[in-house]
Chains A and B, each alone.
Chain A
């Protein structure tokens, strides 16, 4: 397995194979390299292409609150994630999923589907499906660190989806009393309350109002501290009902 910075540097090592397999490689692979493989190069992409082309398909599926995603094995082309589909499998997204749990499930399923794809190619049984026959592409660009900042003036559902989507990196966070607090687990409540204000504190955690509904902060990690429950955070940091949850 190779993960070079410049593929052209290892061109000599890539001769003598029938089929190439690319998984989680962020750069465009030039035609010159693709042409070294008589049966082409195939690529595993963790989305139902043509949806969520790009660097962060799992994160964007969660950000958008999708209830289903999947894995696609495609032929690699020079255009990013645009090649014909060899095989595709749907995967349910559970309400309790975050980027971590969904990624690990998709990678297990992806490995199986990849093996199936190799078998299809070996037996000459591939009927490639052009992506444009399945719909209009959507894009899942790279996640930027500032995307993790929580805006309590958005809806509760969006806030919780952000916590789920950015769980691996960079985390969804807010600042409380000068401390950056990463939200690890959150839940939507249908109860309305003033955006950004602490509505309730209890065993379930800290309930904070948003533009639509409210959010139970269930598990957090203040920067450079240990993971704790929402309730322990409220007690330890003297957060009270009626307080704004974040600074400024």
Chain B
């Protein structure tokens, strides 16, 4: 099975506002599975559907165990922390981004059940980064400085 290609900065889909998902059907479940595989393959901690060319509101994040959220919304944020961030769609650059240290995120799981996730630190950062993608926002828009990192060989 061929994996989904990650869209790179310069692809218009990354700047589009993604549409809500109405039905969590087989297509959506399959998309979530492919996204998870693409994220794992690229050693990412999160991926949003626009990053694989699908302008719809679904994200996967994985700090310890994988979480899939459909139509996610941040309902609570607190704290602030400036730390280095990167993005699979922007290879070779990183930047320092200020993010809330604790967030509560609501959304639907793949069984269409409403779930609420409380996240701290890296997981909270990952949620904020991925949900931004759904609104066409990239970390470079929020970064106080961006810089190049050496090309990796993977």
Contacts and interface: CB of A to CB of B under 8 A. Distances in A.
Question: Taking each of A209, A240, A241, which has the highest tally of chain B beta carbons within 10 Å of its own beta carbon?
Answer: A241
A191 B146 contact: yes
B9 A193 contact: yes
B31 interface: no
Contacts of A202: 141
**Majority DSSP secondary structure for residues of B touching A:** mixed
A192 interface: yes
Interface residues of B, number: 13
A190 B147 contact: yes
A194 B12 contact: no
Please give me the 6 A-B residue pairs with the lowest Cβ-Cβ distance, nearest first.
A199-B10, A190-B148, A241-B12, A193-B10, A191-B93, A242-B12
Q: Which of A192, A193, A197 has the most CB of B within 10 A?
A: A192
Contact of A190 (B11, B141, B146): B146
A199 to B, nearest CB: 4
B120 interface: no
Interface in A153-206: 189-194, 197-202
A191 B11 contact: no
Nearest to B148: A190
B141 to A, nearest CB: 7
B17 interface: no
Nearest to B90: A191
A194 B148 CA distance: 16
B92 interface: yes
27 contacts: A189-B146, A190-B93, A190-B146, A190-B147, A191-B9, A191-B92, A191-B93, A191-B146, A192-B92, A193-B9, A193-B10, A194-B10, A198-B10, A199-B10, A200-B9, A200-B10, A200-B15, A201-B15, A202-B141, A209-B10, A213-B148, A240-B12, A241-B10, A241-B11, A241-B12, A241-B15, A242-B10
Given A190-B148, A209-B10, 16 more contacts: A189-B146, A191-B9, A191-B92, A191-B93, A191-B140, A193-B10, A198-B10, A200-B9, A200-B10, A200-B15, A213-B148, A241-B10, A241-B11, A242-B10, A242-B11, A242-B12
Interface string B1-37: 0000000011110010000000000000000000000
Nearest to B10: A199
Contacts of A191: 9, 90, 92-93, 140, 146
